Amino acid sequence: MMYDICVIGSGAGAGPIIYELSKQGHKVCVLEKGDFYKRDDFSKDELAVNRRSVYNPKLKDEYHTIEEFVDNKWTKFPTYDTGWDFNNGNLVGGSSNFMSGFFYRLKPDDFKLASKYGKIKDSNITDWPITYDDMEIYYDKVEKLIGVSGEVSTYVHQEPRSSKAFPFKALDEHPITKLIDKASKELNFSIVKTPRAIISEDFKHRSACYYSNYCGSYGCSSGAKGSSREALILPAIKTNNLTIITNANVIKLHTNTDKKITQATYLTKDGNKKELKAKLFILAAQAVESSRLLLNSKDENFPNGVANNSLNVGKNLLSSSGGIVTGTFDQSAIPLKELMTPGLFVNRAIKDFYFTKDFKGGMVEMVFEHANPIRRANFFKWDEKDLNKLLIGKELQDKLYTSFTKTKTLNMEIFADWTPNDNSFVSVDEKYKDKYGTPVANIRIGTLKHDLEVSNFLAKKAVSILKQMGAKNIQSNINALPSSNLQAGGCRFGDDPKTSVLNKYCQAHEVKNLFVTDGSFMPSGGSVPFTFTIYANSFRVASYIKENYENLV
C-alpha cells in the first residue's frame, strides 16, 4: 500500500503531524520502534521503570558509543559499559510519556542569540530563521490542545502572550512553596510558577492529575500528562486515517533519481525486513536516532547519508548545560506534617537571570527529588563520615527511617543553554553495530568552558535561596555532561543549505519530500526543556504541509 504520509517515531515531534494530517483526511502510517502501551500498563514500579528500563531496548543489544575528551585525547566507549542510556522511550508517544511536563516557551531573544550577544569563541551560535512571533500561535495551540495548567507569572523576562491565562488552573502546590515564596521575596527574586503539561481538571477523554507522587520518568495512568500518545494520537485514531505499525525499527530510507524518498526499510520484532512506501516522509525519532538514520541511509544520491551531501547531518548536537543543587529540609524549617505531604508539586522557578547584560543566563527549577525509594535508600548505605564504610543493621535502619519520615530533599535543577560547537555531534562508525548489524550512533560530547561558567553563576543563586530557606546539607553538583533525556540539534534548520540541513519549514534542503520535526531542527535550545517548543514547531510544520501537500509530493 502507498500511504500519503509515513511518520517515523510518535513522540512530541510526530504527534502534531499525525493529528493534523490524519484529521485533514490523509492516510498516515506511523512506524514506531516500540509497543503501544495503554494507561493501565503504566505502573509506578520503580524496579521495572527506572532500574530495568522496560520501555527501552537492552543496552547490550542496542547501545550508543560516547566520545569524551580525556587526557588530551578523544576516548570512545560503548554505553553498555556505563549504563548511560540515550534511548528515552521506545513506545507510542515516545519520551513524552515520561516527561515532568515543565512547559516554558522560548523567549523572543532566544531566537536571535547571535544578534543579541554575538558569537562565543569556538561556538556555532546562529540566529533562528524564524521569530517568536512565528511560533506564538502554536505555543498557544499547544497549551489548549495538549493541556497546560498554571498561572501566568509577571516578571522582567515574561514573553508576550496572545492568551492572558493558561487554559487549566494551576496544579495543587506543596506547602514548601510558602517557604520558597517568602525566601525569594527576602532576596528580591521574582518567583515564576511553573506551567505544566498536566491537566488539573478532566478534559475530553482524559482524567485530571491524582497526585500519585510518581510523575517524572513514569507514564501517566490517568491521562493527565500531555503525552503525544494521550493528547494527539488517541484522538487521531478515531479518524480511521491512521495506521500504527509497532515494533518497527526503521534502518534505512531509500531515494530515487529525483532525490525523493520512496520507501523506508524497517525490521520487525523478529528481525525480518519489510518496506513501507509513502509520498511524504516525516522523521521524528528523537535527535540522536534521527541523525543516525539519515547517516546510515547511504545510496548513490547521498553517499554520506540522506540529506547529507552538505555534511551537516549530526552536527551541532544540543543538550542542556547545568547540573543540580540540593538542600535537605526537616521540621526546623517547616512543620513536619506539612513537609511530608506527598504527591503535590513544587512548581516554582527563578528566571530573573534568564538574560543578563553580558551573557545568556538560564533558570533554576525547583522540584523534590524523585519518590523512588530504592534509589534513595541506596544513597544512604554509606557512612557520611567515612565513605568507604558500608552501613548495616540498626545503624542503617535508623538512618533510613529518619530520612524517609522526617526529611525531604529539594532539588534546584539548573537549565542553561548548551552552546553548539564543532565537537558536539552525532556520527556513525562501522566498527560498532547493534544486534541487527546496523551502525550505532556515536555521540561526541564537546562542551565549552562558557557553559560551565553560566551554570556555576546560576548555582550560586540556587544556593542563596536554599540558605535563605533554612536548608541543611546544601550540595552543588555542576558539570558539563549532557542530560540524555534532553536531545536537540543534529539537523539544524536555516536559510543557507551550506550550513543547515533543513529550511525554515523543517523540510530537507536536498530532499523535497522529507521533513524532520523532532528537536533536531533547533539551532539552540534555550534555557528550558525542549518538549514544548518541539510540539509547537511540529504544529507549525503541520500547518505548512496541510497548505502545500500537493506541491511537496
Q: pLDDT tens across 297-345, in order?
A: 999 999 999 999 999 999 999 999 889 999 999 999 999 999 999 999 9
* 138 in any annotated domain: yes
For residue 376, the model assigns a pLDDT of 87
- Supply the CATH number for residue 8's domain: 3.50.50.60
In the predicted structure, residue 453 carries a pLDDT above the cut 90:
yes
Return d(Cα 307, Cα 520) in angstroms, integer. 13
In the predicted structure, residue 501 carries a pLDDT above the cut 90:
yes
What residues contact residue 62 under an 8 Å CB cut-off, 6+ apart?
Answer: 87, 434, 435, 440
For residue 387, the model assigns a pLDDT of 75
For residue 388, the model assigns a pLDDT of 81
Average confidence (pLDDT) over 408-436: 96
Which H or E element spans position 176? helix 176-187
* pLDDT, tens digit, 9 for 90 and up, residues 515-553: 999 999 999 999 999 999 999 999 999 999 999 999 999
What residues contact residue 437 under an 8 Å CB cut-off, 6+ apart?
Answer: none
Query: How many structural domains are present in the chain?
Result: 1
Query: pLDDT: is 241 or 389 the higher one?
Result: 241
Which H or E element spans position 305? none
* pLDDT, tens digit, 9 for 90 and up, residues 254-298: 999 999 999 999 999 998 999 999 999 999 999 999 999 999 999
Query: Which of 406, 403, 411, 402 lies closest to 337 in space, CA to CA?
Result: 406
CA angle, 221 as apex, 216 and 224 as ends, to 5°?
A: 70
Give the model's confidence band at 396: pLDDT under 50 very low, under 70 low, under 90 confident, else very high.
Answer: very high
In the predicted structure, residue 50 carries a pLDDT above the cut 80:
no
Helix-helix angle 132-142:531-552, to 10 degrees: 100
Average pLDDT, the chain: 96
* 165 in any annotated domain: no
* 441 in any annotated domain: yes
Grid cell, residue 518, equals 523532532
Residue 43 to residues 218, 517, 536, Cα–Cα distance (Å): 8, 30, 29
For residue 274, the model assigns a pLDDT of 98
Return d(Cα 94, Cα 12) in angstroms, integer. 7
Average confidence (pLDDT) over 462-483: 94
For residue 47, the model assigns a pLDDT of 85
From the number of C-beta atoms within 10 Å of its C-beta (0-12, 13-18, 19+), residue 113 rates as buried
Lowest mean pLDDT, pick from 102-111, 196-205, 392-401: 392-401
Average confidence (pLDDT) over 227-239: 98
Query: Which of 115, 14, 4, 96 lies closest to 55 in space, CA to CA?
Result: 96
For residue 440, the model assigns a pLDDT of 98
For residue 247, the model assigns a pLDDT of 97
* Cβ contact 360:383 at 8 Å: no
3-state secondary structure of 22: helix
For residue 349, the model assigns a pLDDT of 98
In this structure, the number of other CB atoms found within 10 A of the CB of residue 338 comes to 13
Instruction: List the helix and strand counts (H, then E) for the chain.
Output: 13, 19
* 515 in any annotated domain: yes
Residue ranges with strand state E in 33-183: 65-70, 73-78
DSSP 8-state class, residue 207 = P
Nearest 10 degrees: CA dihedral of 81, 84, 89, 95? -170
* 187 in any annotated domain: yes
* 350 in any annotated domain: yes
* 94 in any annotated domain: yes
Amino acid 534 reads I
Cα of 485 vs its chain's centroid, Å: 5
Return d(Cα 61, Cα 51) in angstroms, integer. 17
What sign does the dihedral 85-90-96-99 (CA atoms) show? Answer: negative
In the predicted structure, residue 129 carries a pLDDT above the cut 80:
yes
In this structure, the number of other CB atoms found within 10 A of the CB of residue 322 comes to 33
Nearest 10 degrees: CA dihedral of 524, 527, 529, 533? -50
For residue 132, the model assigns a pLDDT of 98
Edge-to-edge strand order for the sheet containing 362-368?
Answer: 191-193, 348-350, 362-368, 408-417, 320-329, 472-479
Range of the domain at 211: 2-154+173-552
Burial 182-201 (b: 16+ CB within 10 A, else e): ebbeeeebbbbbbbbbbbbe
In the predicted structure, residue 394 carries a pLDDT above the cut 80:
yes
Region for 508 from its dihedrals, namely left if φ exceeds 0, alpha if ψ lies in -120 to 50, beta otherwise: beta
For residue 370, the model assigns a pLDDT of 86
Return d(Cα 181, Cα 189) in angstroms, integer. 9
* 256 in any annotated domain: yes
Return d(Cα 213, Cα 202) in angstroms, integer. 19
